[in-house]
Amino acid sequence: MGKGMIIKRALAALALAALAACVSYPTEKQGVVDQRPQISFRVGDADTDARVIVDGLDMGRVGDFAENKAALRVLPGTHQLTVQAGTKVLVSEKFYAADGVSRTFNLHGADQ
């Protein structure tokens, strides 16, 4: 085998390697949309440290679920919501939440 033939084969191998590097395989991206209902609070002058209690479980501070900041996801169904600042109850409401629904509770003037 001559020197020219070796060079041709080497160039052919390099060309095939370069073509193989240019091939992109199809990709697929999947995601799951969270359709659980969510609640948030329009706090205004209300105490942002007041506690959010859903069905007897303390879920955190009202400020953690302020409107346009974050929301609390709940399971679909009927729930008892209580917002409490110390011993003072700001909100006590039974509500129904369906899949994909966002509900905002108003705490403006809750002390009136």
Domain ranges, residue 93: 38-106
Q: What is the CATH number of the domain that holds 85?
A: 2.60.40.1120
Residue 25 is assigned to a structural domain of this protein: no
If you average pLDDT over residues 21-32, what whole number do you get? 73
Is there a contact between 63 and 43 (Cβ–Cβ < 8 Å)? yes
Residue 66 is assigned to a structural domain of this protein: yes
If you average pLDDT over residues 86-100, what whole number do you get? 92
The shares of helix, strand and coil residues in the chain, as percent rounded to the nearest 5, are 20, 35, 40
Number of domains observed in the structure of the chain = 1
The per-residue DSSP string of 63-106 comes to GGGBTTT--EE--SEEEEEEEEETTEEEEEEEEEE-TT-EEEEE
If you average pLDDT over residues 72-86, what whole number do you get? 94
What pTM value is reported for the model? Answer: 0.66
pLDDT of residue 9 exceeding 70: yes
- Residue-wise pLDDT tens digits, 28-38: 877 888 889 99
What number of CA atoms fall less than 13 Å from residue 109's CA on the CB side? 1
If you average pLDDT over residues 33-57, what whole number do you get? 90
